[in-house]
Amino acid sequence: MKLFLVVFVAVLCGLFVSSQAAIARARFFNPTYPGKCTLDANTVMSPGQTGKAPDHPCAGVTCMEDGYVEFKTCPAMAPPKGCKMRDFANTNRGYPECCERKYECGKGV
């Protein structure tokens, strides 16, 4: 019984974690802009500032202290039964609104 409970909890945790957005932190520091996050030549952010990641269709970024940036991707979601997941519905929207996906449904999919 204990083994079943342990396996059940492990599977439940795995399902919960697999549906969450991926979060990563990296340092994007440039001495030209002390205390800021420099993602590229056109994207310099102040601590606390949020936005979309450059060169990614839909990922959020938050500038932290000392040039650290937190990146968030869209949560993993399974397509509806009988459908295939396609591109993002509208990459011009801000994060996380841009996470909405298009689906192709029907026979032969």
pTM of the model: 0.71
Instruction: Please report, rounded to a whole number, the percentage of residues in the chain having pLDDT higher than 90.
Output: 74
Q: Where are the chain's structural domains? A: 19-105
Choose between 98 and 18: higher pLDDT: 98
Neighbours of 78 (CB within 10 A): 9
Rounded Cα–Cα distance for residues 50 and 29 (Å): 16
Tens digit of each residue's pLDDT (9 = 90 or more) over 51-78 = 999 989 999 999 999 999 999 999 999 9
Q: How confident is the model at residue 20 (pLDDT cuts 50, 70, 90)?
A: confident
